[in-house]
Structure 1
Amino acid sequence: MEVKNLLSKPVWQMTGEEFIFLNRHALQENKVRTVQSAADKDKKYVYGIGGIARLFGCSIPTANRIKKSGRIDRAITQIGRKIIVDADMALELAGRKSGGRG
């Protein structure tokens, strides 16, 4: 069965089988979204050079040098002028976060 076709079909015209199929599909899709959003909630982001400076507790020029050094490139997503940094990954890459070592 094609989900796209069923979505455009009025409920009163569906067979029981079609309705149950559509319901199961919606539940399955919802589970995937829940898992993805749970993973995203665990992440902490900082934005811009100012965010990098606050994260590392340094000045703006030093934050600029950290970004330009390339050490935290994997933690940075840049779209045009907007800079988004995965805080935990940036700290890990810079060697500031202990990896569970006591």
Structure 2
Amino acid sequence: MNEIDPKTPLWKLTVEEFLEVSKKLTVEKKYEYGLKGLAKILGCSVSKASEIKASGILNEAIIQNGNIIIIDIKKALQLFGKNK
């Protein structure tokens, strides 16, 4: 597709051009933070997320320093999917 002039008014774009521009603006989130973030990834309660974290299933996807928890979303979902 042709390069879109940045000065083009939004109302002059076709749907295809608008979708192309909006795809460039959205950035996929790679990390979640804390037990609330883990619960959000897994779609469960914070207490269940805490149990899953404590089980060690997701150790490769979680970085923890003191109270700060960082979760790699993609890796966590892969590890959780492998565990039965």
Structure 1 consecutive aligned stretches of length 4 or more whose deviation exceeds 3 Å: none
RMSD across aligned positions (CA): 1.8
> 2:29, 2:68 → 1: CA distance?
18
Corresponding residue number in structure 2 for 1:52: 38
- Please, what TM-score do these two structures have when normalized by structure 2? 0.62
Q: Is the 8 A contact 1:43 1:86 kept in 2?
A: no
Relative contact order, higher structure (CA 8 A, sep 6+): 2
Q: Per-residue CA shift, 1:22-81, capped at 9, x if unaligned?
A: xxxxxxxxxxxxxxxxxxx87700000000000000001100011001000000000111
Helix, strand or coil for the counterpart of 1:71?
coil
> 2:76, 2:66 → 1: CA distance?
20
Task: Return the letter of the residue paired with 1:92.
Answer: Q
- Please, what TM-score do these two structures have when normalized by structure 1? 0.51
1:95 and 2:47 aligned: no
Higher radius of gyration, 1 or 2: 1
Aligned residues: 56
In proportion to residue count, which structure has more helix?
1
Match of 1:65 among 27, 40, 51: 51
Paired residues for 1:1-102 under 5 Å: 44-95=30-81
Helix, strand or coil for the counterpart of 2:71?
strand
